[in-house]
Amino acid sequence: MPSSPCAPEEVRRVACVGAGVIGGGWVAHFLARGYDVTAWDPAPDAEEKLRRLVAAAWPALEQIGLADGASPDRLTVAATLAEAVADAQFVQESAPEKLELKRSLLAQLDAAAPPGVVIASSTSGYPMTDMQTEAADPGRLVVGHPFNPPYLIPLVEVVGGKQTDAAAVEWASRFYKVAGKSVITMERELPGFIANRLQEALWREALHMVANGEATVKEIDDSITEGPGLRWAFMGPCLTFALAGGDGGMGHMLDHFGPSLKSPWTRLEAPELDDTLRAAMVDGCDEAAGSRTIAQLVAERDQGVIDVLRATGRLPRQRTEGTDGIAHTPSTMGDEK
Ligand SMILES: NC(=O)C1=CN([C@@H]2O[C@H](COP(=O)(O)OP(=O)(O)OC[C@H]3O[C@@H](n4cnc5c(N)ncnc54)[C@H](O)[C@@H]3O)[C@@H](O)[C@H]2O)C=CC1
Ligand SMILES: C[N+](C)(C)CC(=O)CC(=O)[O-]
């Protein structure tokens, strides 16, 4: 790959190729961050749909804050793929999830984009190694996997393929950060990356339960929104479970509940909970906790759950002054008879 034509901080023009749910979401995000965006999509009604999507997203984007000069007017819809990427400084591909289509489209984008410009694919799970096979310069092709909607959910998973230059992965990771995203740069390829592997495990189990008549769709959704989902918005599953071990943290949690890994709680096979895995989990949680004690983490989690309950309307927002002079939020939880 020739060296990238500009630093991530200097990017002004972004091309988005494929403008459906995710491509359109990317367009809204980049516009809100103050970029000039050129989009291309072969569907005859693509421009109308795209402009509608951006208009619908804009109030939310205004609420969270626009970059100086950000405007939907800075969107251009190109007539051809070549025109869309001709002077792009970064390209985001969001075409349908079909391997052959991605292979050929990434090769076309590579042929049309200026030399050295990084091209990222929004793929939900294909390893870049499998998609970069037809490109003349596969070194500049990376995965930049977003979450729906890309203009509100911060995470992007960035990873290269076997032929991707490390510099392109580094450039893309920096660019996404500059563009306001939260980035996980993966050291190696994994089908489904990290978050979709986790989501998929939950999803498959949910489908098994529905297929076998073991749980309804509502029970499955409620089990997450009324349960673990409240914690996951601000504390990941590992640190959350460390608190299930009380003062003993993750070590005690694994010693206590490790045997249930072998219970038939899921159709997935359980990994062997050997010393290496135990140490990796305990050390990882210690690292994530940093200087925070278990007691501090418990307080942080409790406040987080209260904030999420309040933000989602399940706790009233108004506060009352108690006799102790402390502002209390009256709870209606558990009041339903
Ligand atoms: N929908 C989701 O929640 C997420 C999807 N993704 C990924 O984003 C990509 C796009 O998915 P969606 O936006 O959901 O699909 P979509 O079906 O909403 O949009 C795909 C768009 O690509 C266009 N298209 C068709 N052929 C094309 C071509 N040859 N070149 C360029 N554009 C073409 C279609 O006209 C359509 O507008 C996929 O790789 C998907 O795995 C990633 C994260 C989340
Ligand atoms: C359903 N999906 C696999 C396309 C979802 C994603 O890839 C990420 C998301 O938005 O959850």
- pLDDT tens track for 99-155: 999 999 999 999 999 999 999 999 999 999 999 999 999 999 999 999 999 999 999
pLDDT at position 2, please? Answer: 46
pLDDT at position 3, please? Answer: 53
Pocket residue to mutate for ligand 1, from 98, 122, 134, most atoms within 8 A of Cβ: 122
Pocket residue to mutate for ligand 2, from 126, 196, 198, 200, most atoms within 8 A of Cβ: 196
* Burial letters 91-129, b for 16+ CB under 10 A, else e: bbbbbeeeeeebbbbbbbbbebbeebbbbbbbbbebbbb
Measured CA to CA, the distance from residue 184 to residue 144 in angstroms comes to: 10
Bind-site residues for NAD(+): 18-23
Residue with CA nearest ligand 2 atom 7: 124
Instruction: Name the pTM for this structure.
Output: 0.91
Do 74 and 166 touch, CB atoms closer than 8 A? no
Q: 196: Cβ below 6 Å to ligand 1?
A: no
- Those residues with Cβ within 8 angstroms of residue 65's Cβ, 6 or more apart along the chain or in another chain: none
**DSSP label at 245?**
G
Bind-site residues: 18-23
Measured CA to CA, the distance from residue 193 to residue 236 in angstroms comes to: 16
pLDDT at position 171, please? Answer: 98
Encoded tokens for 295? 């007691």
Positions in the chain whose pLDDT score sits under 70: 1-4, 318-337
ipTM value: 0.99
Q: 147: Cβ below 6 Å to ligand 2?
A: yes
Helix (H) or strand (E) holding 238: helix 237-242
- Among residues 154, 133, 135, which one has the least CA distance to residue 144? 154
